[in-house]
Every structure is written in C-alpha cells, then in structure tokens.
C-alpha cells in the first residue's frame, strides 16, 4: 500500500500485530479520539463565527480561567470515549477527579484508561493561533469487573500504551505513538479522513530552536538562566533561534520537525513547575523518546517519575537529545531548584 494514501484507520489495523494481547479495543479507542478530533476541529475552525470564543466565566481545578472551547472540547472527547464503551475511566485536566465508565452490558470490563488535556493553549483561540489536544492511554491496574480506582491513573509514564496529540493549525494533524515510533496524519477536510503524511517522525539529534517563556526569566533557577545565555551566545553554530507560541503542542510539533528544545522549568513562582505530569508531560515525553529525543525534568527522566496526585506538576525539558543534554549540564551545576 502506498504510504501516502494510507488512512489512520488502515494504519491502525495494519499495526495491530505489534500488540500481543490486543483484541481491538486499543484500535477502537484511537478511532474514537480521531472522531472527537474532527468534531473539535470543526468547532475551532468556525470559532470566529459562533459564540464559542472567550472565557466561560469559570475556573478549572488548576485555578485557570476556562475558555468556552475548553469546556466544549472536554465534553466532546468524554462523550466519544464513553459512548463507545471502550474505556473504564477518564481523567481530564479540566476536571477535579477521574470519571468511572460503566459499560452497558458488562460493567467495568474494559481494559484502558485515558488521560487528556482537551484543549492545550486555549488562551490563544481568541487570536487565531494554533491549539491542540494531548492524550495518554494506559492499561488499568485494578482487576476487570471492578470500578477503576485512583491507582489506575497514577502510573509512571513508562507504562503508557499509547500517547499523542492533535494540533489544530493551518492543517489539522493527529500525531501518535503506540511504542513503535511516531507517525503523523493530516486531515483532508474535503473528505474527513486523516492520511499518513509524516511517517516515522524523528527529532534531529540537535537543532537551533529553543522554546521557553523568557518573560519569567527573573524567576528561573540559575541553571536555566545559564542555558538561555548559552543559546544566545555568538559561536560557530549559535545564537539559536528563539521561538515560543505558548501552546505546548504547537511548540513541540515544530521542534520535532525542525530540531529544537522546549523548556517549561520550575521557577520561584512555580517551584514544582506549571505543566501537568499526567496530561501533558508524560505523553509528550513518550512521543519525544519514540522520536529519538530526550525528556527530563532537568535532572531525571520524566517517564520514571512516580505520580502521587492527578494534577501533579513537574518541570520539563524535551526535544533534540543533544540540546536537552546540554541543558541538563547547566542544571547539574546547581542544587535542584536553586
């Protein structure tokens, strides 16, 4: 089959052989995410024409103002996953607690749980900048037949079965890994299908882009400040190019294609970091490593961190391997969080 004409559905079926114990649930789960992504994409693309822009007047569990599209995307993804009865639990960045999903015929017998950031970078919607969705999939820990418990969601990133993101930009792409490389699929809006457009995506070993919110420079630990200065220094291959969109999915997507590093460090204002381990950092770290890059908190591998709460925050340094290793070199010069 010509890869250029391979649809996401065909690709999933062709690659089921990688899953020794799969009986189709994971494939149906990813297909449900695909369906929800198309619905959200439609709403994002007409955001300027309907009453979906702006704040909803509520805050989420993170204490952040919820945008109308945050709430909409959250409901769309939840409904797509629940209605098809293929997950036993869902946890969302937008909600305080996880949701237990009970099947119609055989209650609590599904294998998988999903953690999701329904609309990453939603504050950019009002100014027509790319946003995204991030998802992470695990096999449950508790026995089949029982309602899911918190322990099912508090798994290390290295236990992920699959992870990915959708970027809603000039074109809409779904990028995912199931532990056998990273592949990107672009939506053809004329016929509503995702086609394999970026097979076997890889981070260049090094790059010349660094992405960080320099507005917080004064609050960064000294190791981060030193790395930023290194990136800005005139040398043979530097200064690097500074690019920061403010949507993790968009920044990460660009850096994976072009080569670069994305940093959201701890700071004196946010000593544990800002991004969520379960909804953002673990899935992005899985994708990073599957694409030949590296993802750490500046000191240790992101996917080896044991979560202790649903909305735990961590710093993250991810991207081209040599760039992350250089950032770690500067971080290790100082005691952690100095």
Sign of CA dihedral 329, 136, 162, 37: negative
Helix 68-83 and helix 25-45: axis angle, to 10°?
150
Is 121 labelled as part of a ligand binding site? yes
Residues constituting the chain: 338
Phi, psi of 177, deg, nearest 5: -135, 145
Q: Is 119 annotated as a binding residue?
A: yes
H helical segments located in 233-281: 248-258
Q: How far is CA 115 from CA 70, 296, 327, in A?
A: 15, 20, 29
Nearest residue to 319 (alpha-carbon basis) of 247, 272, 222, 251:
251
Ligand-binding annotation for 22, yes or no, is no
274 is in an annotated binding site: yes
216 marked as binding residue? no
Q: Among 293, 291, 292, which residue's Cα sits nearest to residue 317?
A: 293
Phi, psi of 221 (to 5 degrees): -65, 160
93 annotated as ligand-binding: yes
DSSP structural state of residue 313: B
CB 233 within 8 A of CB 227: no
H or E element, residue 166:
strand 162-168
- Write out the binding residues for Mg(2+): 93, 117, 119-120, 280
- Write out the binding residues: 93, 117, 119-123, 213, 244, 274, 280
- Write out the binding residues for substrate: 120-123, 213, 244, 274
């Amino acid at each position: 089959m010509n890869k250029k004409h391979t649809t996401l559905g065909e690709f999933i079926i062709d690659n089921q052989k990688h899953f020794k114990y799969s009986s189709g649930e994971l494939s149906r789960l990813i297909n449900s995410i695909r369906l929800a992504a198309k619905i959200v994409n439609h709403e994002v693309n007409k955001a300027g024409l309907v009453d979906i822009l702006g704040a909803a007047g509520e805050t989420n569990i993170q204490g952040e103002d919820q945008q109308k599209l945050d709430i909409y995307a959250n409901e769309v993804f939840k409904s797509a996953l629940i209605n098809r009865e293929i997950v036993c639990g869902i946890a969302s960045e937008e909600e305080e607690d996880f949701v237990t999903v009970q099947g119609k015929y055989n209650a609590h017998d599904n294998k998988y749980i999903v953690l999701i950031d329904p609309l990453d970078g939603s504050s950019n919607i009002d100014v027509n900048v790319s946003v995204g969705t991030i998802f992470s999939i695990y096999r449950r820990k508790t026995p089949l037949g029982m309602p899911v418990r918190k322990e099912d969601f508090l798994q290390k990133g290295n236990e992920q079965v699959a992870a990915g993101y959708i970027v809603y930009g000039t074109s809409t792409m779904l990028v995912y890994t199931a532990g056998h490389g990273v592949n990107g699929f672009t939506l053809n809006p004329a016929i509503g299908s995702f086609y394999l457009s970026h097979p076997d995506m890889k981070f260049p070993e090094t790059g010349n882009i660094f992405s960080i919110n320099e507005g917080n420079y004064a609050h960064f630990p000294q190791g981060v400040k030193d790395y930023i200065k290194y990136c800005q220094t005139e040398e043979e291959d530097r200064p690097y190019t500074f690019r920061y969109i403010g949507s993790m999915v968009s920044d990460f997507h660009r850096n994976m294609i072009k080569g670069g590093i994305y940093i959201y460090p701890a700071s004196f204002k946010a000593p544990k970091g800002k991004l969520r381990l379960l909804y953002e950092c673990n899935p992005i770290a899985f994708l990073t490593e599957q694409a030949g890059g590296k993802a750490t908190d500046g000191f240790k591998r992101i996917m080896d961190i044991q979560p202790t709460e649903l909305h735990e925050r961590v710093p993250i340094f991810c991207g081209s391997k040599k760039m992350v290793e250089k950032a770690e070199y500067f971080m290790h010069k100082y005691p952690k969080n100095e």
